[in-house]
């Protein structure tokens, strides 16, 4: 099994509930098992600034799926939850990105892993390092080194638990919360 790290974000509706639902849907996807979920973090939008603040999280999972299949699962969840792309980098009910796929670099027309802007995005790095402090880029560089190059003060703790302690509910097993306990 390979380890994959998803980055999730929402800035429309009940942002925390949207992230919790996306994590549950990921965990229910064939070939995926969520193993750990970060706290929720809030940050101002990047690039397209005229929109509400985002809540972000990271989820670590074990998978035997190919990167293309993970992308298809993420896009299916976004569509199922009502994501509509009206403005590039604009407001969204949910955004599910593949931040890391083990220590493998993926370069496909519709998918680049590690996420191309991961090293510049505090809102992605902070939750990622909470669930995978030992993560390594395909270059061999520890991901934790990238945190030195971003403004972590731009990321605020929103909640220590996803949806008031509800992590993904799954008959497949128990996912760890960020505090190391299981549900």
Active site residues: 83, 92, 95, 97
Q: What are phi and psi of 153, to 5 degrees?
A: -70, -15
Note the helical H segments in 9-118.
Answer: 15-28, 67-80
Tabulate helix, strand, coil % of the chain (nearest 5).
30, 30, 45
Tokens of residue 26, six digits = 């990921």
| Tokens at 11, concatenated | 């800035």
Query: Are 3 and 138 within 8 A, CB to CB?
Result: no
């Amino acid at each position: 099994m390979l380890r994959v790290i998803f980055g999730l974000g929402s800035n429309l509706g009940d942002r925390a509930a949207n992230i919790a639902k996306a994590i549950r849907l990921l965990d229910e996807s064939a070939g995926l098992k969520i193993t750990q979920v970060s706290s929720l973090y809030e940050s101002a939008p990047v690039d397209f600034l005229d929109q509400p603040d985002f809540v972000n999280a990271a989820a670590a999972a074990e998978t035997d799926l190919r990167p293309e299949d993970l992308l298809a699962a993420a896009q299916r969840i976004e569509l199922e939850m009502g994501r509509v792309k009206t403005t590039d980098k604009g407001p969204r009910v949910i955004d599910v990105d593949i931040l890391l796929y083990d220590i493998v670099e993926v370069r496909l027309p519709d998918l680049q892993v590690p996420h191309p802007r991961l090293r510049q995005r505090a809102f992605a790095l902070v939750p990622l390092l909470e669930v995978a402090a030992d993560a390594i880029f395909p270059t061999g560089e520890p991901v934790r080194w990238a945190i030195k190059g971003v403004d972590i003060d731009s990321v605020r703790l929103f909640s220590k638990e996803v949806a008031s302690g509800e992590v993904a509910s799954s008959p497949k097993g128990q996912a760890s919360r960020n505090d190391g306990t299981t549900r």
